[in-house]
Amino acid sequence: MHELAITQSLIKIALAKAEEAGALRIKKINLQIGRLTGYVPEAVEMNFRMMTPGTRAEGAELDIQWVPVRCRCRECGTEYRSEELDLTCPQCGVLSGQIIDGREMFIDSMEIDN
Amino acid sequence: MTEIKILKNILDENRHRADDNRQVFNKHGILALNFIASPGAGKTTLLEKTIFGLKDRLNFAVIEGDITGDYDARRLAALGIPVVQINTEGGCHLDAGMVHRAYQDFRLDKVDILAVENVGNLVCPAEFDLGEAFKVVVLSVPEGDDKPAKYPLIFSEAGAVIFSKIDLLKAVNFGLDKARADVRRINREAPIFELSAATGQGMGEWLEWLSGKVESMKGDEAG
Ligand SMILES: Nc1nc2c(ncn2[C@@H]2O[C@H](COP(=O)(O)OP(=O)(O)OP(=O)(O)O)[C@@H](O)[C@H]2O)c(=O)[nH]1
Ligand SMILES: [Mg+2]
Ligand SMILES: [Zn+2]
């Protein structure tokens, strides 16, 4: 269900930016979504189709670029990918990682017709 | 066709509201806690026992988040504390705006701890900051010792982790060491409490720690 909240904000931001830019139509919205988020593409897509008819976002494509989970070690500064979230630094072997990527839910850019 | 850069976080609006809430809580010296767990993990029972154990010393207020109904709010109101029920009507989490509306009903100067019981769910509430000082993630042992590994995000965000219903440990074969180690792998700092709200086992340690948190917050303010 929280796809509903996410889709609502996404549409709100996209429409505001489209208006600012004087766009007639939004063709494509490029998203950056972290692997750690609970973002479910199918659900957002479905909500988006339901909520955009009659707006400048009607028919827009949602393109997702998935951002992998990355950590940085607080001890030695090593940055590493963490498939299953694990803060253990591969270099030091201690629990020293801080999550630096993987939580994003960004609108990166939009393609518009004007 | 033109491409325009947006670079905007989809959850920005919630984040700003959460920051506003946090400022209000700080201003009034309120420790706000966001209780997160699966349905039936024992959040309300833990809150009842926590409030019962500390209400001579500290003033509580509670915001109850449920999809529908006011069962939990009535249980807590029976303790004679201010309670506001939020119904999300299907929504899987509370957001900062809902919490903002809810606390308008409290006399904030009279509150030391604002406990928010989030909707039962280990996934969605991780994404929505409410303005709390920290999240308390409750895992009841019947749910299984693999949950920290399966829902790492929420456990990584916790300010405190509680393994609840510890009286059922033997019956359900929950590996305490495994669960503890998995929490540690993803969260270096959060204290882990093992307790039973039903028998009272382990409650003392949790209550001491919590009241210590209130004191150190009030101390920071004074200093
Ligand atoms: N054995 C045992 N049972 C418990 C304990 N704490 C809660 N329960 C039982 O677990 C069930 C659910 O407890 P609640 O406190 O309502 O759980 P909750 O997480 O608030 O549930 P929802 O708000 O519906 O998600 C009830 O039947 C409680 O009596 C405990 O420490 N030990
Ligand atoms: Mg409850
Ligand atoms: Zn390291």
Q: Can you list the domains of chain B with their CATH numbers?
A: 2-222 (3.40.50.300)
- What the block records as the tokens of B210 is 């919590």
What tokens does B167 get? Answer: 């009286």
Neighbours of B110 (CB within 10 A): 11
Kindly give the distance from the C-alpha atom of residue B92 to the centroid of ligand 1, in angstroms, as a whole number: 19
pLDDT in tens, chain B (223 residues): 899 999 999 999 999 999 999 999 999 999 999 999 999 999 999 999 999 999 999 999 999 999 999 999 999 999 999 999 999 988 889 999 999 999 999 999 999 999 999 999 998 899 899 999 999 999 999 999 999 988 988 999 999 999 999 999 999 999 999 999 999 988 989 999 999 999 999 999 999 999 999 999 888 766 5
Task: Report the C-alpha gap between B123 and A40 in whole angstroms.
Answer: 12
Candidates A2, A36, A106; nearest CB to B8: A106
Sequence-separated contacts (24+) of B68-73 with Cβ below 8 Å: B72/B44, B72/B117
Q: What are phi and psi of A40, to 5 degrees?
A: -110, 105
Encode pLDDT of B44-71 as tens digits.
999 999 999 999 999 999 999 999 999 9
Residue A20: phi and psi, rounded to 5, are: -55, -45
Chain A within 8 Å of B97 (Cβ-Cβ)? no
CB-nearest to A27 from B1, B5, B153 is B1
Buried b (16+ CB within 10 A) or exposed e, B166-197: bbebeeeebeeeebbebbbbbbeebebbbbbb
Mean pLDDT for A47-61 is 97
Phi, psi of A85, deg, nearest 5: -45, 115
Record: contact A13-B156, CB cut-off 8 A:
no
Q: pLDDT at position A66, please?
A: 95
ipTM above 0.90, yes or no: no
Distance CA B141, CA B115 (A): 22
Structure tokens at A84: 């299953």
Distance B139 CA to ligand 2 centre (A): 13
Query: Which of B45, B50, B64, B76 has the most ligand 1 atoms within 8 A of CB, as the residue to mutate?
Result: B45
Q: Name the β-bridge partners of A112.
A: A26, B2
Shortest-distance atom of ligand 1 to CA B48? 15
As beta bridge partners, residue B33 has: B115, B134
pTM equals 0.93
Task: For A66-79, write each residue's pLDDT tens digit.
Answer: 999 999 998 899 99
Nearest C-alpha of chain B: how many angstroms from A36? Answer: 7
Q: How far is B175 from chain A (nearest CA, A)?
A: 19
Cα B112–chain centre separation: 15
Report residue B178 as tokens: 């495994």
Query: Does the C-beta of B96 come closer than 6 Å to ligand 1?
Result: no
The token duo for A34 is: 């972290």
| A10 Cβ under 8 Å from any chain B Cβ | yes
Q: How far from each other are the two terminal CA atoms of chain A, in whole angstroms?
A: 34
Question: B21: closest CA among B156, B116, B119?
Answer: B116
Domains of chain A: 2-67+99-113 (3.30.2320.50)
Out of B6, B128, B188, name the one closest to residue A87 (CB).
B188
Ligand 3 midpoint to CA B211 (Å): 35
CB spacing of A84 vs B156 below 8 angstroms:
no
Do the bridges between strand A97-101 and strand B60-66 make them parallel or antiparallel, or are there none, so unpaired? unpaired
Token pair listed for B66: 């449920």
Using CA atoms, how far apart are residues B218 and B223, in angstroms rounded to an integer? 9
